A and B are shown apart, each in its own frame.
Chain A
């Protein structure tokens, strides 16, 4: 079962005493790995240290590491989710933000159906770099690519350098949808991936809907307090 939120117990969780709980709507779309119908490649791009790996790890493994080491090349993850009456398998490429890997980016975004361009709300430079990624994708990427702009580290409000309004305006002007996220608090992390899934070319409805196993998640109020529930 492709359940999300199984925290790696060896990982240094920020606050193990208050386990992260997924929003109730997640039960609508997380399904077993063996029943996906549509597979989409998705790429995360952005400046070094913007939080790309942290976003993916929060989404795929439900974990957050305070000190995340630099990605080398690209890391590959897969995650399956259900959107309405269709299921989507994301093949996620988490790319390295270092300058030396820039020329290799097309290797990862070529043929990608979706991209999340990540910047750090506490860094103007990372926002400038994000704009350059958008330009590159507009020129060289798949013309039908669904693009999202993620303003990460939204929990660091006191250190903010990029306003949400500025980013939203830029996103609207360039045909992206925009969300501010926090891999640390998990704010909007699942939502941004779900939003991408909704915008992807319509997946075919399941041939045998009764065979689709949704993750059974009890209502938030009745859930037992467990980091792996």
Chain B
């Protein structure tokens, strides 16, 4: 399977001339590692070098990396304010994101101080303008190991510079999500400001939101929703989810546009008013916005929020309330005076959730986790299944031995992601002991991302199945009109057994679909 990007119209391929090691790094040279500019770190450098975010010559000893570095303990917020495009550490970063205006003014940068990157922003703007002046549009520049991806959204330009080897489609999708997150905060009406004043400075309007963008960018390393364009549900007993759905439906009937009950980034239940549909990307951006802003945890909040796929030009008014550290309710209305009504709705919802023990079930589900490949029922098994039914007791010596052997599920199954096309939902198994560090998890995530992109590449596909084997995994992908299955196996796994196991996973998912999917919701028409 050829994984290379197919060239699209207007794509520019650039090769950067190598610069001698001794030559000073000029503003004109790219300065990226191995592509010119100085590559040797200065002695006594005080740069805080983040693992996995910086290009290093040394290989990483995976065994010595602590699990505490996972996304759960990741600290959100802007990094490395002191850096600019003259800093060696800044140039070594594996993945940059930039947002700038069409006049070249910086709006957002993942690393470094926006104002100190004004010159660099102007350079990016010049590249885009130069190509546009020739009646074309620049989409991708390749420079050595780096890809430079451009996305033009009216007066706003978004750029990603990456050496992570992620597919073009994935990186472009990430830029789309960053733009979407900007719309969540400001709506598309921001364009009018640029019409009035082309040199309009947008940065003050995004004041205090660095944490929202850094959290979204971090999710590109762990959240499959960012490339699957589907949402995931918290596993719950059917009756529990129904109880939550029923009360949300009641409040939706009183004039609430959308009622969404979530636990972290997972949906418990959601209901929309008649004919109102919610795109999975909007759920992702909304959840990121709520979860990354500590402000929402302090009290009841009432805030204007835009759902870009629903209506990018207008605000909705959101009432946000946390029931506990993980579970929160978002009620959306088109009415700016709806606060007291939404507050009453929340009180009704909370009473029902407490009476029907939904909140305690949510906490239990969080504790138990979702689907574990170790619990995949034996192939001979028939009859109804429930999550965790086949689990060995946690204190069983067999379970302990299995966990330490790192075998995972049958036929060396390590992990899977199943996406229901009809429901726009996905379910992902928990990571097994063999994939127990953030780095290994991120590597698997990136492998899935590549697999997804190649399966959906219009230039060379689409494909129905794909089987890959490398030193890390056996990867198997199966796409039908109803679902997509992505599975990772031990690299020594047998192909025939792996295929058989994938069929078995699909059957298991069918058996427990009441618990892992929100089935009542009509498909979202997008």
Please determine whether B208 and A75 come into contact, CB atoms closer than 8 angstroms: no
Q: Closest Cβ of chain A: how far from B340's Cβ, in Å?
A: 9
Please determine whether B304 and A70 come into contact, CB atoms closer than 8 angstroms: no
B360 at the A interface (CB under 8 A): no
A220 at the B interface (CB under 8 A): no
B426 at the A interface (CB under 8 A): no
Q: How far is the CA of A101 from the CA of B186 in the complex (A)?
A: 10
Contacts of B299 in A (CB 8 A): 75-77, 94
Contacts of A100 in B (CB 8 A): 185-186, 204-207
Contacts of A101 in B (CB 8 A): 304
A162 at the B interface (CB under 8 A): no
Please determine whether B207 and A70 come into contact, CB atoms closer than 8 angstroms: yes
Inter-chain CB contacts under 8 Å: number: 63
Q: How far is the CA of A172 from the CA of B300 in the complex (A)?
A: 34
B298 at the A interface (CB under 8 A): yes
Mark each residue of chain B from 460 to 480: 1 if its CB lies under 8 Å from any CB of chain A, else 0.
000000000000000000000
Contacts of B298 in A (CB 8 A): 53, 57, 75
Other-chain contact of B295, A71, A77, A99, A107 (Cβ < 8 Å): A71
Other-chain contact of B302, A70, A74, A98, A99 (Cβ < 8 Å): A74
Other-chain contact of A75, B186, B205, B206, B295 (Cβ < 8 Å): B295
B508 at the A interface (CB under 8 A): no
Please determine whether B301 and A99 come into contact, CB atoms closer than 8 angstroms: no
A48 at the B interface (CB under 8 A): yes
Q: With contacts A99-B205, A100-B185, A100-B205 known, is A73 near B304, CB below 8 A?
A: yes
Other-chain contact of A98, B207, B289, B293, B336 (Cβ < 8 Å): B207
Please determine whether B304 and A69 come into contact, CB atoms closer than 8 angstroms: no
A104 at the B interface (CB under 8 A): yes
Mark each residue of chain B from 328 to 363: 1 if its CB lies under 8 Å from any CB of chain A, else 0.
000000001101000100000000000000000000
Please provide the chain A residues from 63 to 99 with a CB less than 8 Å away from any CB of chain B in the complex.
69-77, 94, 96, 98-99
Which of B293, B296, B304 gathers the greatest number of chain A CB atoms within 10 Å?
Answer: B304
Q: How far is the CA of A203 from the CA of B67 in the complex (A)?
A: 59
B211 at the A interface (CB under 8 A): yes
Residue of A nearest to B204 (CB): A99
Q: Closest Cβ of chain A: how far from B293's Cβ, in Å?
A: 5
Please determine whether A76 and B208 come into contact, CB atoms closer than 8 angstroms: no
Q: How far is the CA of A104 from the CA of B301 in the complex (A)?
A: 14
Q: How far is the CA of A98 from the CA of B204 in the complex (A)?
A: 8
Q: Closest Cβ of chain A: how far from B133's Cβ, in Å?
A: 33
Contacts of B289 in A (CB 8 A): 72
Please determine whether A73 and B185 come into contact, CB atoms closer than 8 angstroms: no
Please provide the chain A residues from 92 to 122 with a CB less than 8 Å away from any CB of chain B in the complex.
94, 96, 98-101, 104, 107
Please determine whether A98 and B208 come into contact, CB atoms closer than 8 angstroms: yes
Please determine whether B294 and A69 come into contact, CB atoms closer than 8 angstroms: yes
Please determine whether B205 and A73 come into contact, CB atoms closer than 8 angstroms: no
Q: How many residues of A contact B (CB 8 A)?
A: 20
Other-chain contact of B300, A70, A76, A98, A104 (Cβ < 8 Å): A76
B303 at the A interface (CB under 8 A): yes
Q: How far is the CA of A62 from the CA of B295 in the complex (A)?
A: 17
Q: Closest Cβ of chain B: how far from A110's Cβ, in Å?
A: 9
Mark each residue of chain B from 267 to 303: 1 if its CB lies under 8 Å from any CB of chain A, else 0.
0000000000000000000000100011110111111
Other-chain contact of B301, A57, A75, A98 (Cβ < 8 Å): A75
Q: Closest Cβ of chain B: how far from A62's Cβ, in Å?
A: 13
Residue of A nearest to B289 (CB): A72
Please determine whether B207 and A72 come into contact, CB atoms closer than 8 angstroms: no
Please determine whether A104 and B304 come into contact, CB atoms closer than 8 angstroms: yes
Residue of A nearest to B298 (CB): A75
Please determine whether B205 and A72 come into contact, CB atoms closer than 8 angstroms: no
Q: Closest Cβ of chain B: how far from A225's Cβ, in Å?
A: 27
Q: Closest Cβ of chain B: how far from A97's Cβ, in Å?
A: 9
Q: How far is the CA of A73 from the CA of B315 in the complex (A)?
A: 12
Q: Closest Cβ of chain A: how far from B246's Cβ, in Å?
A: 27
Q: How far is the CA of A100 from the CA of B305 in the complex (A)?
A: 12
Please determine whether B302 and A76 come into contact, CB atoms closer than 8 angstroms: yes
Please determine whether A72 and B300 come into contact, CB atoms closer than 8 angstroms: no
Please determine whether A74 and B294 come into contact, CB atoms closer than 8 angstroms: no
Q: With contacts A75-B295, A76-B339, A100-B185 known, is A70 near B301, CB below 8 A?
A: no
Q: Closest Cβ of chain A: how far from B63's Cβ, in Å?
A: 34
Q: How far is the CA of A71 from the CA of B300 in the complex (A)?
A: 11
Q: How far is the CA of A48 from the CA of B208 in the complex (A)?
A: 9
Q: With contacts A53-B298, A57-B298, A107-B336 known, is A73 near B208, CB below 8 A?
A: no
Task: Please name the 10 residue pairs, one residue from A and one from B, whose CB atoms are nearest each other, closest first.
Answer: A73-B303, A70-B208, A69-B294, A75-B299, A100-B205, A76-B300, A98-B207, A99-B204, A71-B295, A72-B295
Given A74-B302, A100-B205, A100-B206; 11 other pairs, CB 8 A cutoff: A48-B208, A53-B298, A73-B301, A75-B299, A76-B301, A77-B300, A94-B299, A96-B208, A98-B204, A101-B304, A107-B336
**Residues of chain A having any CB pair with chain B under 8 Å:** 48, 53, 57, 69-77, 94, 96, 98-101, 104, 107
A sample of 7 inter-chain contacts (CB < 8 A) reads A69-B211, A70-B209, A72-B289, A73-B304, A75-B295, A100-B204, A100-B206
**Residues of chain B having any CB pair with chain A under 8 Å:** 185-186, 204-209, 211, 289, 293-296, 298-304, 318, 336-337, 339, 343
